[in-house]
Chains A and B, each alone.
Chain A
Amino acid sequence: MLTEKPETHACTCGGKTGGCAQKTEKAHDHGHDHAHAPEPHGTEPELTDDEAAQKLSMSRRNFMKHSAIVAGAAAAAACSAEDLEKFTAHRLREMTQPELKALIKRLEADYKKKFNKDIDVRATPAAEGVKFGYALDLSRCIGCRRCVHACVKENNQSRPNPEGDRNNPIQWIKVLEMEKEKGVDLSDANPYYNPEEVPREGHFYMPVQCQQCENPPCVKVCPVQATWKEPDGIVVIDYEWCIGCRYCMVACPYGARRFNWAEPHLPADQVNTNTHVLGNRPRPKGVVEKCTFCVQRTRAGRYPACVEICPVGARKFGNMLDPKSEIRAVLESKRVFILKEDLNTQPKFFYFFGI
């Protein structure tokens, strides 16, 4: 795991072999030329007071070093190998392939224990020549919230649990109801509408989810770099690395990020077993999560769950670098707009009016 990095040495000689730090240091200090013919330890001549003091102090340093290692080893022995692995692991982005495999193996074992079910955790990387884009036809959306609930099921979000210790319901998509007369007015939008039938007269609906910005403010503020933009444009979160400070939630101008205030309530029979390590794998308590364009599906060539469920076909998804994709057709022939353009977040989520 750590073998790829050069080991740091306590001495200043820069030598990697020999191990006699004191000697070389001494040689430098006193201007003696020992570099070519260093004397062996056993034949050390009598020392001056200075030299003796220095040797003593170096020995003390060595002693401290060794005792620290011993203490560390003792502490390590006290906790399990698994905890140690977690503690010494790299962030997902910097992991080597064997490390990633080990992580996935550990996660799958954890989930097996927790849900008593085989959960497939994948780490499919971004394909080359792909930049995902999304478009939503506001003239078609009827606000039925089928997408919201399909997303919850697909992405293993925490379900409502009013009887539990803590209710922690999470939905990644929020559908806003707005008045046609007022246009897109976010300050006057209602996400809690619940009439008998939709669409309501005089209203239109605007689903909002992660806009997958090209210039994501959430990524900039993360103090531990647990969130980043992948080469295919999806902004992802390393759930192992997230410290739950929620700076990203403050930075996101779209309110697209959600926090697990409690252990997610995810009944075993409702778990989606097809998961991605950066996407819909069951999350722990205390981490932030959000829409990933269904990374587990889209990196396997499928459409996101919200696109597939939409009963009016308002949602369009595809590779923006492919001139034949639907998303390109929308971008090239419809007048699209992005949310809060003035913030220069450059979303890859476009709204348009198809009629």
Chain B
Amino acid sequence: MAAVESPHKNTLSRIEPLLRAMLIAPLAAALVGSCQSAPAGKAAIDTPDQTHTEPVNLPPPQAGLPPDPMHGQKEETKGYAVPKPPLSKEYWPCSDCHNDSQPPNRTRRELKEDHTNIHLHHDEANRWCLDCHDAENRDALHLASGVTITFDESYRLCGQCHGTQYRDWKSGIHGKRTGMWNGEKQYLLCVHCHNPHSPHFKPLKPEAPPVRPSLIR
């Protein structure tokens, strides 16, 4: 766990509500457009670091791309059938320990007493626990916008930065679906395959190779 105190964090969090207010204002689109080279709507998909802007009006999907099932809907109203998130039985629910007796410590630091099994290798220079885990509701996550979401919807959290993967996951290209090809499906969550604290895929031992024909009697 990285424990670097980020000098920019406090400044950023202080001006964040202001930034959001600016975007909601009718002139927001023009402002964003003038600040960024890419159009405002496209930025939410292609430049992950801009996702916290949550654009109000998405442009129609590009020609050649499959129609986005979520197009035109508010992000909050959409749900995907997902299997249970792989939460650790030992620690879940988090509020068992993180309750009133333990008020949240919002200081960025390395955890030395508990959760020592978690080693953060996920943009650890810039992130720490409370960037994704909610400090108020410990059994929930929060988006960069401050909206709290359940662990079932964690794909929305991941999608903030990994926009292209999120887009592909929604149409079934990235990730894995189980169930029926012509009926009910379950969408495996990002965290079913990627450890959210260390998402890089681990190498595997391959299964046995085929027998060479020359060795077959």
Contacts and interface: CB of A to CB of B under 8 A. Distances in A.
B209 A193 contact: yes
Given A148-B207, A313-B193, A301 B217 contact: no
Q: 7 tightest A-B contacts by CB?
A: A326-B172, A313-B176, A329-B171, A197-B203, A145-B207, A301-B180, A329-B66
Q: Select the residue from A146, A199, A303, A317 with max chain B CB neighbours within 10 A.
A: A303
Contact of A322 (B65, B182, B209, B210): B182
Q: Select the residue from B204, B205, B211 with max chain A CB neighbours within 10 A.
A: B204
A17 interface: no
A188 interface: no
Interface stretch (A70-78, A108-116, A167-175, A178-186): A167-175
24 contacts: A145-B207, A149-B207, A149-B208, A168-B216, A169-B211, A174-B210, A192-B212, A197-B205, A198-B203, A198-B204, A301-B181, A303-B177, A303-B178, A303-B180, A303-B181, A311-B204, A313-B174, A316-B172, A326-B172, A326-B173, A328-B66, A329-B171, A333-B173, A354-B174
Contacts of B203: 142, 197-199
B171 A313 contact: no
A166 interface: yes
A107 interface: no
Interface string B179-217: 111110000100001000000010111111111100011
A333 B206 contact: no
A298 B176 CA distance: 17
A301 B210 CA distance: 30
**Interface size class of chain B, counting residues whose CB lies under 8 Å from the partner chain:** 20 to 34
A142 B171 contact: no
Nearest to A317: B181
B18 to A, nearest CB: 37
A286 interface: no
B191 to A, nearest CB: 13
B209 A145 contact: yes
Interface of B: 64-66, 168, 171-183, 188, 193, 201, 203-212, 216-217
A218 interface: no
A319 B181 contact: yes
A233 interface: no
A302 to B, nearest CB: 6
Given A169-B216, A192-B210, 18 more contacts: A145-B207, A167-B211, A169-B210, A191-B209, A194-B209, A195-B206, A197-B203, A197-B205, A198-B205, A301-B182, A303-B179, A303-B180, A311-B193, A313-B188, A318-B181, A333-B64, A333-B171, A354-B173
A188 B180 CA distance: 37
Contacts of A323: 66
Contacts of B178: 303, 308
A322 B66 CA distance: 12
Chain A interface, DSSP helix/strand/loop, else mixed: loop
Contact of B173 (A142, A191, A301, A334): A334
A330 B206 contact: no
B80 to A, nearest CB: 13
A323 B211 CA distance: 41
Interface in A138-169: 142-146, 148-149, 160, 166-169
A198 B182 CA distance: 33
Contacts of A160: 211
Contact of B171 (A148, A166, A317, A326): A326
